[in-house]
Structure 1
Amino acid sequence: MSEEKALNVGPSGIEMAYERFGDPAAPPVLLIMGGGAPMINWPEGFCAQLAGHRLQVIRFDNRDSGRSSHFPDTPEPDLPAALAGDFSSAPYTLSDMAADTVGLLDVLGLDSAHLVGASLGGMIAQTIALEHPDRVRSLTSMMASTGDLGVGRPDFAALAGLGAPPADRQGYIDWQVRAFRVTGSPGFPPDEAALAERAGRVYDRGYDLKGMLRQSVAAVASGDRTARLRALDVPALVIHGADDRVCDVSGGRATAAAIPGAELVVIDGLGHSLPRELWPRLSSLIAALAQRGEAAARRR
């Protein structure tokens, strides 16, 4: 495993940083991370466990995160305006981020992959399945919603006291630890020292608050996918925490209800995180879906 950089990716011709785990000849699983979060938010141990199921695992930095291309010379992102229906500050949409991801598959020489998306990454994965169905062997949507603003709503009362992340490194680390106490998983308390260490690596990797806001505006501007999800024909799994304060479990339930034949797994004690204690269960669920996806692909 070593980090690599793909150049001239997708229609936008961006750069994307990525890493691969496992046997490069094994079925590929593409991990798509959430808003403002670089690929290292998919823990290496989780990636290794997933690769242990005879899968090739690929994680990468989305545009506007980590070491992939950032878009600073675009309109100032205005999330409140977007939530009110004014999308003029959106420099791109989830369709563009989906096209980036498909472009990475092209660079890697992969005709299709099993998609696993978390939070905003789940929305990107849904968009790929809708707009590039021939590139998707299976779809796992985690802690995500359909784009319908009536479901999957954050717990604004719980999040209100956090404020914006500070710009300095130590301030950002301290803020992340505080935030995780609110947004993490009450049934699986984290190792705060390990959490702080990863927050420092996230910051050093290219922390970009406005990039995260641009991604958030893109998600809102992309609208409600519910009706289109009803036409999907792909093996699908929806995983959601019963205690998710960032994306209420109603978002996961709505996603599973919209996708024909989707399996819904709601986990008590799970919030908006990937607790170490759940890595074996999550990796097994994803691997089982991938096996069904491989079988379906062979039948086609």
Structure 2
Amino acid sequence: MSESTTQANGITLCHEEFGAATAPPLVLIMGLAAPMTWWDDDFCEQLAARGFRVVRFDNRDAGRSQRMSGRADVVRAYLLRAAPYSVADMADDTAGLLDALGIERAHVVGASMGGMIAQTLAIRHPRRVRSLTSIMSTTGSRLIGHPSPRAAASMLAPQPRSRAEYVELLVKTFRLIGSPGYPFDEQRMRARAERTFDRGVNPGGAARQLAAILSTRDRTAALRRLTLPSLVVHGARDPLVHVSGGRATARALRADLDVVPGMGHDLPQEIWPRVLDGIERVAARA
């Protein structure tokens, strides 16, 4: 297990693998401003122990992957659907990574923005996706999946520059958007924040990713045309992407739907067995 960089879709992506190279590939796609390490090492190792070749990677503009250019205007992105790049571009990054790793088809799991990327990958490159698991995400429709006012405001907060400020902001944010039905592990969150900052944070990249989300179009009709095994996992108490987004995604995909009581916009360790079982179950159907 060691990080590598490779060219994919014309940019440089940082990635890492767990498990046997000969096992069925499973790609993990993370969310807004989040590096691949937000898929915890233990989570990845448990997936590998279930018989997968697990690939996680930093999206463009996150972690150690390539930093992009262009000024993001979130108002312009929402009103005019104009952004430096799109969720579709990020889906094509994922397809390019599969090419670079010699993977023809993979099980794909995405969380939050990563769920949007995973859905778009299946739409644009349906032959590359064996099964799809979309976690705490939505269809792109502006009628559902709305954040609470406080959660929305937290996404627009100025990005801190110092390590200490970044750690405090991440702890504050996840106290707000995390899972109220489970104990908040502040020590674990502080360790995650420190590791994230040390790998490299990119405030401009976070704004460009947010603009990509805000400029996206409704995927519902395209999702209805997919025929792959799929699972939607969503927190019943998610304040950032309301559970209506998950329900709509499941309807469009005709997917299994697992609404988890007490879960917010994160993955507490207590629910890992439930999520891992679901991923394994939908992959087996492929």
| TM-score normalised according to structure 1 size | 0.92
Q: What is aligned with 2:91?
A: 98
- Is the 2:14–2:65 Cα contact (8 Å) retained in structure 1? yes
Residue of structure 1 equivalent to 2:17: 20
Please name the residue that 1:282 is paired with: 275
1:240 maps to what in 2? 234
Report 1:108-119 matches (<5 A): 108-119=101-112
Tell me how far apart the structure 1 counterparts of residues 194 and 215 of structure 2 sit (CA, whole Å): 31
Give the SS at the match of 2:26: strand
Q: Which structure 1 residue ranges, 5 or more long, are not aligned?
A: 294-300
Whole-Å Cα distance in 1 between the matches of residues 276 and 159 of structure 2?
31
Distance 2:154 2:110 in 1: 28
* Residue of structure 2 in register with 1:59 after alignment: 56
Residues of 1 paired with 2:244 and 2:20: CA distance? 37
Task: Say if 1:161 and 1:265 are closer, same or farther in 2 by CA, change over 3 A.
Answer: closer
Deviates further, 195-204 or 123-132: 195-204
The residue correspondences of 1:114-193 to structure 2 (distance < 5 A) are 114-160=107-153, 163-193=157-187
From 249, 254, 263, the counterpart of 2:256: 263
User: C-alpha offsets along residues 252-279 of structure 1, whole Å, 9 cap, x if unaligned?
Assistant: 00100111x3100000010111111111
The change in CA–CA distance for 1:161 and 1:43 in structure 2 (over 3 A counts) is closer
Give the Å deviation of 1:246.
Answer: 0.9
* CA shift for structure 1 position 67: 0.3
- Matched position secondary structure for 1:134: helix
Query: Is 1:3 the equivalent of 2:3?
Result: yes
Q: CA RMSD in A?
A: 1.3
State the one-letter code of the partner of 1:286.
I
**Within 2, Cα distance between the matches of 1:67 and 1:77?**
20
Residue in structure 2 matched with residue 217 of structure 1 by the alignment: 211
- Between the aligned partners of 1:234 and 1:220, the Cα distance in structure 2 is 26
| CA–CA separation in structure 2 for the residues paired with 1:159 and 1:132 | 31
Q: Distance in 2 between matches of 1:167 and 1:224?
A: 34
Alpha carbons of structure 1 residues 245 and 124: separation in structure 2 relative to 1, 3 Å = same
1:198 matched to 2:192: yes
Structure-2 residue corresponding to 1:291: 284
Aligned residue pair count:
285
**Conserved in 2, the CA contact under 8 Å of 1:49 and 1:279?**
no
Aligned with 2:187: secondary structure? helix
**SS of aligned partner of 2:85:** coil
Distance between the aligned counterparts of 2:74 and 2:232, measured in 1?
A: 27
CA–CA separation in structure 2 for the residues paired with 1:33 and 1:158: 19
Deviations 1:99-154 (Å, cap 9, x if unpaired)? 10000001110001000000000000000100100000000000000000111111
Q: Matches of 1:264 and 1:218 in 2, distance apart?
A: 26
Q: SS at 2:146's partner residue?
A: coil
Give the 3 Å change call, closer, same or farther, for CA 240–161 of structure 1 in structure 2: closer
Identity over aligned residues, as a percent? 49
State TM-score, norm by structure 2.
Answer: 0.96
Query: Counterparts of 1:142 and 1:53 in 2: how far apart (Å)?
Result: 19
